[in-house]
Amino acid sequence: MISIKKAVLTEKSLQLAEQGQYSFVVAKSASKQQIAHDIKVLFNVTAQEVRVISVKGKVKKRGRFVGTRPSWRKAIVRLAANQKIAEFSVNE
């Protein structure tokens, strides 16, 4: 089972990508070892370090109704030297 759901493409994550750190939305049950393995299988690069962050869903109000957005988990992966993921490059 692949634990990586999608890439996080924000202004901050694209700045980190220039430094060799890439952000992904991952499954809540994924371990760091599993994320590193999936990065190697999907993108054919070696993960040097994996950091995982649990992001709590925001509370949203619509009139008198209150709800929450779903919580999710983010992984920041640092690659070995001289390796890149082409999907994160910005063509200007």
The 10s digit of each residue's pLDDT in 46-56 is 999 999 999 99
DSSP secondary structure of 29-83: T--HHHHHHHHHHHH---EEEEEEEEEPPPEEEETTEEEEPPPEEEEEEEEPTT-
Residue 23 near residue 13 (C-beta atoms within 8 A)? yes
Query: Which CATH number is 28's domain given?
Result: 3.30.70.330
Query: Residue 54 is part of which domain span?
Result: 4-86
Cα(3)–Cα(25) distance, integer angstroms = 9
Q: What is the mean pLDDT of residues 2-31?
A: 93
Alpha carbon 55 to chain centroid distance?
Answer: 11
In a domain, 18, yes or no: yes
Q: 51: which strand partners?
A: 76
In a domain, 92, yes or no: no
Q: What is the mean pLDDT of residues 17-28?
A: 94
In a domain, 54, yes or no: yes
In a domain, 63, yes or no: yes
Number of domains within the chain: 1
- pLDDT tens digits, one per residue of 35-92: 999 999 999 999 999 999 999 999 999 999 999 999 999 999 999 988 998 877 766 5
In a domain, 91, yes or no: no
| Backbone conformation region of residue 58, classed left if phi is above 0, alpha if psi is from -120 to 50, else beta | beta
Write down the pTM of the prediction. Answer: 0.86
- pLDDT on residue 88: 78
